[in-house]
Amino acid sequence: MGPKKAAATGKRKAEEAAEGEHHEEEGVATSPSKKAAASPAAASESKRTRRGAAAAAPAPVPTRTSARKAKTDAKAKVSKAAAADDDDEEEEDGDTGGAAQPATKKRAAAPKKKDDADYDDDEGDADDGDGAASAAAGAAKKLTKALAANDVLPASLPVANLHDGTTADLNEISKTHGIVIFVYPKANTPGCTNQACGYRDSHDEFAQRGFKVFGLSADSPKSLTTWKEKYNLPYSFISDKERVFLKAFGVNKSATQVHRSHIVIAKGGKVLHIKKGVSAKPSAAEALELI
């Protein structure tokens, strides 16, 4: 073989060898089926390996420094929680003016039941701003029970308001005169008019015996004045809108009712007679028989 042919043959073999290596590399690189088949198994094996390593890893041993840090962190959490509670309490105090409110309230005491013998001044039917009426109610606080026969008019008995805007002091009047008071439910009604006219017709006889006559009710001064003028009634009327005298003599029946009565007081202030539930027409005649 000549030198040229030997060289050509060697070159060809070298190219064939190089081409074979190239095909082997391409076969390895382009075998997706083998790579795909190997990938899931490898991934699963890798996960099992990592879990096993994590499970097998020993827990860290606490050191003195880590224990101190944990204790400090716990104290900080407690302090923070306490501060939050204090803030909540301050907010609640602020809502109630800084003072704790009672959980329950005491039930208001029920008002005591009154009867005709009790004498208080807390049941005024009307308040027209009259200073004298207010003063009378205040003075009447000293009286706790109704007057009865043989009692003497107390010094604390207030002055009475009359129909014409003036006043009458029964204690002062009793120093020089006896007193007859007739009590009626309502001015200018038929029965009360019969009673009032009976005292009108007997007025001179009462005066001759040294007695002054007064009518007594809770009517207003205006209605009493109209009634007085209509029937020419010669005596004065006590306008007891706050029922001070009605209670003092025990003739107040309720907040709107009274006992038709007559009261006789001797000169000197001694109560001779208090009769409740009388009839309208004979009231004046019966009172005359007692003096």
Q: Which two tokens stand for residue 226?
A: 């109209």
Q: Which two tokens stand for residue 212?
A: 């002054």
Q: Coil, strand, or helix at residue 126?
A: coil
- Strand ranges (E), the chain: 160-161, 167-168, 178-183, 211-217, 236-239, 261-265, 271-276
Contact assessment for residue 199 and residue 215, using Cβ atoms and an 8 Å cutoff = yes
Catalytic annotation present for 192: yes
DSSP code at position 99: S
CA distances 191 to 53, 204, 208, 260, 283, Å, are: 117, 22, 27, 10, 11
- The angle at the Cα of 221, spanning 218 to 227, to the nearest 5 degrees, equals 90
Out of 192, 238, 263, 284, which one is annotated catalytic? 192
Q: Which two tokens stand for residue 92?
A: 């609640």
CA distances 204 to 136, 197, 200, 208, 210, Å, are: 30, 13, 8, 6, 10
Residues classed as catalytic: 192
